[in-house]
């Protein structure tokens, strides 16, 4: 009887130790995921909203939500795709709430296209090339602004985040065919914008 | 004919290739631009947070220091005032006690004088007929 109790106590202690170790490992794993993907999530949200504060807020919310649901992440998709899906949903919720409460938020902090187009890496380019590149970036921003929310998301995931079609499909919850169709329409609009300026 | 038909085809194909190259270049520039902007904002927001946190800590430290200094000063002044007040009350009490003692002493002395005077007066008022007897008693007492 006493031996049975002792074994039960050891089993309980071992289970607790394992649980503690598992929790610690999960925390470490999540921490490394945050470090690896936070800049990318922020970038996607920044490109989607053109609002630095909003992008920062949504990024924080994204990782908070991910942390709460980390134990439910089964690894069917990559952590990046899973996080991107959370970010897309948060962004959708934000715009939905904003539309409902439009009278509360008349002012937007979004950066305009001209300002967003000013950003270019300082490479080995001539002033003329820089100007041309800036003009092209502005045209793409203009085309992106005219896209539907879904087309914009797909476009940014493909051409800013370099995700594969299958990854975009996982992140957005769309089929690959639908992703292709959205991407084709988005590219058509970008092409049209560039053609118009030629 | 073939050549003539081929020329416009070649021309449109060339245009399409040019357009495709332009699109790819524009997309590449767009990508680089967003990456550069994001990297800058990301590092800036993190730096700003650190600075904000540091400045907040400094401000909190100063505020706490000021509160402690003001508290110490006020406490010291209050303690000094309190001690002075206690000393003043103690001195007043001591003075009152001394005055009371002096008054009691004075009253006691006055009583003694009065009693001595009464005794003297009473002794002087012995009738003349009793004088020899009083002298005898005085002599007896002296012996």
Tens of pLDDT, residue by residue over B23-70, are 999 999 999 999 999 988 888 766 655 555 556 677 788 888 888 888
Average pLDDT estimate for B84-90: 88
Contact in structure between A45 and A54 (CB atoms under 8 Å): yes
Cβ distance of A120 and B36 shorter than 8 Å:
yes
pLDDT digits (tens, 9 = 90+) for A152-178: 999 999 999 999 999 999 999 999 999
Residues of A in Cβ contact (< 8 Å) with B31: 159-160, 162
Smallest Cβ distance to A39: which of B31, B37, B42? B42
- What are the residues whose beta carbons fall under 8 Å from the beta carbon of A195, sequence distance 6 or more? B19
Buried-exposed string A131-170: b where 16+ CB fall within 10 A, e elsewhere: eebbebbbbbbbbbeebeebbbbbbbbbbbbebeeebbbb
Is residue A126 within 8 Å of residue A134, measured between CB atoms?
A: no
Q: Is the pTM of this model over 0.90?
A: no
C-alpha torsion angle, residues A106, A107, A108, A114 (rounded to 10): 120
Whether residue A1 is predicted with pLDDT greater than 50 in this model: the reply is no
Separation between Cα atoms, residue B17 and residue B38, nearest integer Å = 31
Q: Which residue of A has its CA nearest to B40?
A: A119
In chain A, % of residues over pLDDT 70: 78
Tell how far CA A93 is from the center of its chain.
Answer: 14
Residues of A in contact with B29 (CB under 8 A): 120, 133, 136-137, 140
At A128 the pLDDT is 82
B98-132 CB burial, b ≥16 within 10 A, e <16: eeeeeeeeeeeeeeeeeeeeeeeeeeeeeeeeeee
Per-residue pLDDT of B92-124, as tens digits, reads: 889 998 999 999 998 888 888 888 888 777 666
pLDDT at B6 over 60: no
- Check residue A38 and give its pLDDT: 93
Least confident segment among A91-95, A184-188, B130-134: B130-134
Name every chain B residue with its beta carbon within 8 A of the beta carbon of A58.
none
d(CA A116, CA A160): 14
Which has the minimum average pLDDT: A18-27, A66-75, B2-11? B2-11
Q: What is the dihedral of CA A51, B40, A35, A83, to 10 degrees?
A: 30
- Polymer length of chain B: 143
Specify the higher pLDDT residue, A27 or A98: A27
């Amino acid at each position: 009887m006493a031996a049975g109790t002792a074994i039960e106590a050891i089993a309980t202690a071992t289970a607790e130790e394992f649980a503690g170790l598992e929790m610690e490992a999960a925390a470490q794993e999540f921490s490394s995921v945050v470090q690896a993907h936070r800049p990318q999530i922020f970038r996607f949200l920044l490109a989607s909203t053109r609002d630095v504060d909003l992008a920062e807020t949504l990024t924080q919310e994204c990782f908070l939500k991910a942390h709460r649901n980390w134990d439910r992440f089964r690894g069917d998709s990559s952590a990046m795709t899973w996080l991107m899906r959370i970010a897309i949903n948060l962004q959708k919720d934000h715009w939905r709430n904003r539309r409902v409460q439009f009278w509360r938020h008349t002012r937007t902090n979004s950066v305009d296209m001209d300002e967003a187009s000013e950003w270019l890496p300082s490479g080995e380019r001539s002033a003329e090339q820089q100007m041309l590149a800036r003009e092209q970036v502005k045209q793409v921003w203009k085309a992106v602004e005219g896209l539907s929310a879904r087309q914009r998301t797909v476009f940014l995931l493909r051409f800013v985040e370099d995700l594969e079609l299958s990854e975009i499909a996982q992140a957005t919850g769309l089929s690959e065919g639908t992703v292709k169709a959205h991407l084709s329409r988005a590219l058509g609009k970008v092409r049209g914008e560039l053609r118009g300026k030629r | 004919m073939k050549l003539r038909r081929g020329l416009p085809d070649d021309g449109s194909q060339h245009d399409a290739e040019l357009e495709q190259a332009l699109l790819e270049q524009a997309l590449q520039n767009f990508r680089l631009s967003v990456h550069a902007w994001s990297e800058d904002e990301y590092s800036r927001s993190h730096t700003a947070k650190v600075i904000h946190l540091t400045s907040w800590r400094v401000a909190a430290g100063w505020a706490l220091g000021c509160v402690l200094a003001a508290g110490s000063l006020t406490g010291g002044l209050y303690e000094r005032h309190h001690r002075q007040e206690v000393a003043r009350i103690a001195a007043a009490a001591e003075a009152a006690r001394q005055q009371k003692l002096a008054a009691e002493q004075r009253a006691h002395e006055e009583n003694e004088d009065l009693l001595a005077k009464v005794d003297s007066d009473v002794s002087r008022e012995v009738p003349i007929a009793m004088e020899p007897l009083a002298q005898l008693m005085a002599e007896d007492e002296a012996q």
